[in-house]
Amino acid sequence: MNTTAQPALNATHDPALRSWVASSRHDATDFPIQNLPFCVFRRAGSGQALRIGVAIGAHIVDIDAAAGEGALAGLDPAVRHAIVGQASLNALMALGPQAWSALRLALSGLLREGAPPLPAVLVAQADADYALPARIGDYTDFYTSIHHASAVGKLFRPDEPLLPNYKWVPIGYHGRASSIGVSGQCFPRPRGQTRAPGAVAPDFGPCKRLDYEMEIGIFIGAGNAPGEPIDIGQAEQAVFGLCLLNDWSARDLQAWEYQPLGPFLSKNFASTISPWVVTLEALAPYRAAWTRDGADPQPLPYLDAPQVRSAGAFDITLEVAIETAAMRGAGTPPARVSLSNFRHSYWTVSQLVAHHTVNGCNLQAGDLLGSGTQSGPTAAEAGSLLELTAGGKQTIRVAGETRTFLEDGDSVVMRGWAEAPGRPRIGFGEVRGTVLPALGAGT
């Protein structure tokens, strides 16, 4: 049991480690040997069974192929059974941190320079089709950026932007798992009820204020039994890893429906995650102290612990870019519209897990928690168009075009990466999603 205040570093984090996979040695790669994130994939167009993969440079280690080559023979049989012939990460997630760590060490050993190269187990990422990395039983979305909560609250409730519970309770709601898709997801613009300002009755039709939300997704590992809360000191051991999450949001539906029970159809039509899950162990060198302003309420004891204060935050840079249909046609790369960082979060991952379970609620392997939109303290760090356009009152530039909210054909591309002095940069790849015209559009 890890009781130290700082996440432990080990041989797999050594900045001097290099892999025999040449593409992993480029400074620009998201996937040096120190990262080793997991996905579920198959070779595109192959009809292969889905299988687990591990990123290295521009390639994927095909776990089933590695097992076929005898490369995983040294693993504990329970770990091998949880990853070979598996179409999801759930069985591995359920094994817990000791197994994850043993697997990471073994993969690092297989891939490092000096080990016998195994080119037959590699698939180019460009040749892969990805699936959701886990069967997501339940999805909960939090609201951990005080900058986002304040800015959105000002638009929805000018007289009381930040409700009094915000600084005491990690605010969240139960979302919908069925409509979560992996990067590449395309979905029709949602339709629903909206009410124009001053109108008595709502209209029905396609959403006019479609937005994205830049979030971190948190995959639960072993979870907890019903009635047995996860202590804040052990909370990170219940987390398998992090991914990128775009929590698409229909702002006009949201404004009409959200009281008194919170978001519903404005959120549950689509949510998109990156194929890659970066483990907490990989992120250990990129942690940051978590602080709470002395003028604000300090967390209740069940949400506080020395390791929360010393290294509870994650220093992960988050970028949002938009690619319009015209840009795609012209081959123009996605244009950045904001840049923020997960370290600004008002609540930590560990606090979310401790809070979610404190009433006895059980989390299960593969459950997904969303961090909430990660807006930073300045306007340029806003993680949604709602904030960047001041509620649609001003436009932003996207290459040669302007936007208030998303238009049909727009793709949103989010990226995330972590850096630390003297260490390689590690990344999350990207999460991309595209808005299609509403069903029955024009009728």
Site residues (vs Ca ion, CB under 5 A):
141, 213, 247
Q: Give the whole-angstrom CA distance, residue 62 versus residue 71.
A: 11
Q: How far is CA 341 from CA 107, 338, 344, 419, in A?
A: 29, 10, 6, 11
Catalytic residue numbers?
Answer: 148
Kindly tell me which of 139 and 240 has the beta carbon lying closer to Ca ion: 139
Kindly tell me which of 139 and 417 has the beta carbon lying closer to Ca ion: 139
Kindly tell me which of 42 and 148 has the beta carbon lying closer to Ca ion: 148
Helices marked H in 198-243 — which ranges? Answer: none
Which structure tokens are listed for 40?
Answer: 């579920």
Are 283 and 242 spatial neighbours (Cβ–Cβ below 8 Å)? yes
Pair type for strands 180-182 and 271-273: parallel
Please report how close the Cβ of residue 304 comes to Ca ion at its closest, in angstroms. Answer: 25
Please report how close the Cβ of residue 250 comes to Ca ion at its closest, in angstroms. Answer: 12
Please report how close the Cβ of residue 148 comes to Ca ion at its closest, in angstroms. Answer: 9
Q: State the DSSP code for 286.
A: G
Q: In degrees, to the nearest 5, what angle opens at C-alpha 299 toward C-alphas 295 and 304?
A: 130
Kindly tell me which of 173 and 233 has the beta carbon lying closer to Ca ion: 173
Please report how close the Cβ of residue 266 comes to Ca ion at its closest, in angstroms. Answer: 10
Dihedral over Cα of 226, 1, 142, 436: its sign: negative
Those residues with Cβ within 8 angstroms of residue 44's Cβ, 6 or more apart along the chain or in another chain: 127, 128, 129
Kindly tell me which of 36 and 152 has the beta carbon lying closer to Ca ion: 152
Please report how close the Cβ of residue 25 comes to Ca ion at its closest, in angstroms. Answer: 37
Please report how close the Cβ of residue 370 comes to Ca ion at its closest, in angstroms. Answer: 6
CB crowding 10-38: b at 16 or more within 10 Å, else e: eebbeeebbbbbebbeeeebbbbbbbbbb
By C-alpha distance, which of 332, 337, 277, 317 is closest to 415? 317
Kindly tell me which of 141 and 252 has the beta carbon lying closer to Ca ion: 141
Helices marked H in 96-145 — which ranges? Answer: 97-111
